[in-house]
Amino acid sequence: MNLYDRIPNNVNLSEDKKLQRALEKWLPNYLDWWREMGPEGFQEKDVWLRTAVDVGSEGWAHFDYVKMPDYRWGIFLEPPQPDARVGFGDNYGRPAYQEVPGEFRNALRRIIVTQGDTEPASVEQQRQLGKTCPSLYDLRNLFQVNVEEGRHLWAMVYLLHGYFGRDGRDEADELLERRSGNPDKPRILEAFNQPCDDWLNFFAFTMFTDRDGKYQLSALAESGFEPLARTCQFMLTEEAHHMFVGDTGLGRVCRRTAQLMKEGDVRELGGIPLEIIQKYINFWFSYSLDLFGGEISSNSADFFAAGLKGRYKERDQYTDHSATNENFTMTIVEDGQLKTREVPLRNALNEVLRGEYVKDCEKGLARWNKVLAEEGASERLYLPHPRFHRHVGEFAGHTFDLQGNLISREEFESRKSEWLPTIEDREYVRSLMHPVFEVGKIANWIAPPAAGIKGKPFDYEYVRL
Ligand SMILES: [Fe+2]
Ligand SMILES: [Fe+2]
């Protein structure tokens, strides 16, 4: 572990002078980007952050006060497995690739760039949120997520620089040039160009959009291209915290809303009505589903065949790793009607991964509904049907209600304001967003967390202002 190198790493960077020089050249550009596009207004503050210092499952993180620009962003890969093999596809059982297989070079670069682009994008989307934090605990969690997304960018840039030559270096530069929501140089995926300018958006984003990240990274963590697999395995350990922030954040909003419902009108009492929470769920869940790609995809078949992108828990969950003899039944739209179609399983792997994701999201909904029940509310939250409000794949270009029934565009337009956040909803939520910077205090629209961070109480000075 070379923690005190200019770029902390566990990949023996100092033995690869060319790569080290390239990354050291990229470092100041990264820091410029961080100062320009990272959290606004808090760069010089001490934040109680965890920093990766070891990839072991125990004690890999070190907690201390750090100014964000001084965070030790580094390159950490899970240790190599002895005798690693390709775990699926046509090359099943052959030695894992240590270099990029030539015919998949462009495709793999695209996967890494697309994943890498989401990391700085989310930092950009969230850069104003610190100014309206509901508590110092939440402010610290926001910044923890932000610095780790920065480290995930490093993880992807390491792969681009290390394995893709000049093209990879150019792509790494461009990752710092695109900007979330900028019409001239937008981020690659649409969910990452949507504004995330209030904390309800932030919690829904970390719940639903970071969770897409978990499933993409899990599929790549199975990869037969070993450096990619080991990189993604370690990113997943950090990603778990991001989803915790979103999941528990929305749970706390639900708790507070249910408490206020017992006292009277939630709006008059300064809380967030359940209908608005539901609309935010509908919005972010549907945009996040798009991130899995088209339902029927020859790319997914090619990546699987090549042993580059597996299924969720491919090694643990499946016995047949070739996926050649099976079909997958899916619903599509044909001649203006919903029909079922049999698709070779390998062409349906985006949909298979999306299905795993939906199951995981349902567990989150069950947790929030348990909170509502605990507080005596009879209302329940739910996920919209996966066909609802889609912009990618088989259902893009068609309109559906929350139950997944095909409806006319006119009907969708006339009912949209019941289903998705309106400008008024967003303005109302924004009107509640006043910062609470006092130690141990919390905004009125959210309940405090069940516990603090790493054994510290809620009323700990997580950020020194
Ligand atoms: Fe990430
Ligand atoms: Fe994340």
Is residue 1 scored above 70 in pLDDT?
no
Instruction: Please give the distance, rounded to the nearest whole angstrom, from the Cα atom of residue 268 to the centre of ligand 1.
Output: 37
State the DSSP H helix or E strand holding residue 176, giving kind and residue range, or none if neither.
none
Q: How far apart are CA 21 and CA 201, in angstroms?
A: 39
Give the per-residue pLDDT at 345: 96
Is residue 5 scored above 70 in pLDDT?
yes
The mean pLDDT value for 31-57 works out to 90
Q: What angle do CA 288, 291, 292 make, to 5 degrees?
A: 115
Q: pLDDT-derived band of residue 53, with 50, 70 and 90 as boundaries?
A: confident
Residue listed under structure tokens 């599509």: 332
Backbone φ and ψ for 317, nearest 5 degrees, come out as: -100, -20
- pTM for this prediction: 0.96
Mean pLDDT over the full length of the chain: 94
Instruction: Please give the distance, rounded to the nearest whole angstrom, from the Cα atom of residue 262 to the centre of ligand 2.
Output: 35
Burial label for 337, CB within 10 Å (0-12, 13-18, 19+), is: exposed
Residue 328 structure tokens: 């997958």
Instruction: Please give the distance, rounded to the nearest whole angstrom, from the Cα atom of residue 76 to the centre of ligand 1.
Output: 14
Give the per-residue pLDDT at 306: 92
Which ligand minimizes its atom distance to the CA of 120? 1
Residue listed under structure tokens 């190198």: 5
Burial label for 290, CB within 10 Å (0-12, 13-18, 19+), is: buried
Give the per-residue pLDDT at 4: 62
Which ligand minimizes its atom distance to the CA of 246? 2
What is the distance in angstroms between the CA of the first residue and the CA of the last residue of the chain?
33
- Write the pLDDT tens digit of every residue in 169-224: 999 999 999 999 999 999 999 889 988 999 999 999 999 999 999 999 999 999 99
Instruction: Please give the distance, rounded to the nearest whole angstrom, from the Cα atom of residue 348 to the centre of ligand 1.
Output: 25
Give the per-residue pLDDT at 21: 93
Give the per-residue pLDDT at 94: 95
Instruction: Please give the distance, rounded to the nearest whole angstrom, from the Cα atom of residue 236 to the centre of ligand 1.
Output: 8
Least confident of 74-78, 250-254, 304-308, 368-372: 74-78
Instruction: Please give the distance, rounded to the nearest whole angstrom, from the Cα atom of residue 152 to the centre of ligand 2.
Output: 8
Name the β-bridge partners of 64. 49
Instruction: Please give the distance, rounded to the nearest whole angstrom, from the Cα atom of residue 288 to the centre of ligand 2.
Output: 13
Which ligand minimizes its atom distance to the CA of 206? 2
Instruction: Please give the distance, rounded to the nearest whole angstrom, from the Cα atom of residue 242 to the centre of ligand 1.
Output: 8
**What 3-state class would DSSP assign to 162?**
helix
Which ligand minimizes its atom distance to the CA of 145? 2
